[in-house]
């Protein structure tokens, strides 16, 4: 019997306080077996549902599909595989000849079994070295004249360090130059940078896919940096630099 998370938490809290399991079962209105299940659970990690399917044509390609779906975790939602995209790739790249109706069920079961606790929320814990970058504009007086100063902001959420460099614009050349200044200052290069809507880095098409500008693409290759692009208007995906 599956029960809502608040009731699961109530069971574990009352059990820790020494309340009898019969009494606990009366309070949340669940049976004793369910109380014992959640009270005795070592952690709250949900177990994937048992798959009672018979063998299907997609089974020989399960490892490949799993690899695609796992790689999607690092991509913005609009760039991830849909069930239709998985099916089309299987048909085009392998010998798969199954019907489309099989694919959505497999994709749904994989996502349910591999859903992380942070799905649907912004990342609270960032890996060491991951940087968030964004442009901002401030007023500055240069040669006696008040002008718009383009500021490239680079933050490291893990350590909460942040750096700002002043630039004349927000194109790809300015972006690369500003990043080099920050890298030289900190004495290293981040393995991953997270950006918002590809400002200065490239172009985003109607499907949300980003094509990096040639100079920025070469910059990433030279420094061996992995760039991640947030969805448009999704500032919470890189909240450190937004703040």
Give the tens place of pLDDT for each residue, 124-133: 567 788 889 9
Residues 6+ apart with CB under 8 A from 134: 152, 153, 195, 196, 199, 238, 241, 242
Question: For 78-224, where are the E strands, in sequence order?
Answer: 131-142, 145-156, 161-167, 192-195, 202-204, 210-212
Question: pLDDT digit of tens for each residue in the chain (243 aa)?
Answer: 566 766 776 777 677 677 888 888 776 567 777 778 777 776 555 454 444 445 688 889 999 999 899 888 777 777 788 999 999 999 999 989 988 888 988 888 888 777 654 454 445 567 788 889 988 888 888 888 888 888 899 999 888 888 999 998 888 899 999 999 999 999 999 988 888 755 678 777 777 677 888 888 888 888 888 888 876 544 444 445 455
Question: For 168-230, where are the E strands, in sequence order?
Answer: 192-195, 202-204, 210-212, 226-229
Contact 239, 220 (CB under 8 A): no
Contact 189, 225 (CB under 8 A): yes
What residue segments make up the domains of the chain, in order of their start?
5-39, 59-113, 131-242
* CATH code at 131-242: 3.30.420.10
Q: Is the pTM of this model over 0.85?
A: no
Across 158-186, b (16+ Cβ under 10 Å) vs e yields eeeebbebebeebbbebbbebbebbbeee
Measure the CA dihedral 50/53/56/61, to 10°: 0
Contact 24, 15 (CB under 8 A): yes
């Amino acid at each position: 019997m599956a029960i809502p998370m608040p009731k699961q938490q109530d069971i574990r809290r009352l059990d820790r306080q020494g309340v009898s399991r019969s009494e606990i079962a009366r309070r949340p209105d669940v049976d004793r077996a369910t109380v014992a299940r959640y009270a005795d659970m070592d952690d709250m990690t949900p177990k994937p549902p048992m798959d009672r399917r018979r063998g299907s044509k997609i089974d020989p390609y399960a490892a490949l599909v799993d690899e695609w779906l796992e790689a999607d975790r690092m991509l913005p939602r609009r760039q991830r595989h849909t069930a239709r995209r998985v099916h089309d790739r299987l048909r085009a790249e392998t010998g798969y000849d199954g019907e489309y109706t099989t694919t959505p069920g497999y994709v749904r079961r994989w996502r349910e079994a591999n859903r992380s606790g942070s799905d649907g929320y912004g990342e609270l814990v960032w890996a060491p070295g991951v940087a968030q970058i964004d442009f901002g504009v401030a007023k500055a007086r240069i040669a006696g004249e008040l002008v718009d100063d383009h500021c490239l902001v680079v933050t490291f959420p893990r350590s909460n360090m942040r750096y700002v460099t002043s630039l004349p614009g927000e194109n790809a050349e300015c972006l690369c130059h500003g990043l080099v200044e920050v890298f030289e200052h900190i004495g290293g290069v981040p393995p991953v940078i997270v950006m918002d809507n590809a400002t200065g880095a490239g172009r985003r098409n109607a499907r949300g896919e980003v094509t990096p500008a040639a100079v920025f693409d070469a910059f990433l290759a030279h420094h061996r940096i992995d760039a991640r692009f947030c969805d448009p208007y999704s500032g919470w995906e890189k909240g450190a630099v937004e703040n």
